[in-house]
Amino acid sequence: VLSRLLDVLWAFPIYLLAISLSIVTIAQGISIGPIEIESGSLWLPVIIIGIVYIPYVARPIRGQVLSLRHSEFVLAAINLGVPGPRILWRDIL
């Protein structure tokens, strides 16, 4: 599911997405849970650029994780009974 969402973001024109996100956030700011960024803040362009470029970072990482999935050290950790999330965070990433 996450991969398909990243594919949709990848297919969308970067500059159009960045401009539309900036128009929406300049008027009202961003409020995500306890994090609140006011309109006119210098953090808004940083967040928008980060959101727009996530697919360009996530796709190579996903490919590398999928290729390391069948390596010997991962298979050894699985045979030792190490939980999957721990293998992902400690051995692969």
| Extended strands (E) in the chain | 30-32, 35-37
Tokens of 1: 């599911």
Residue type, 39: S
Host H or E run for residue 81: none
Residue 72 has pLDDT above 80, yes or no: yes
Tokens of 26: 């300049």
Give the span between the Cα atoms of 3 and 58, in whole angstroms: 9
pLDDT digits (tens, 9 = 90+) for 15-65: 787 778 777 777 777 777 887 877 777 777 788 788 888 888 888 888 898
Give the span between the Cα atoms of 12 and 7, in whole angstroms: 9
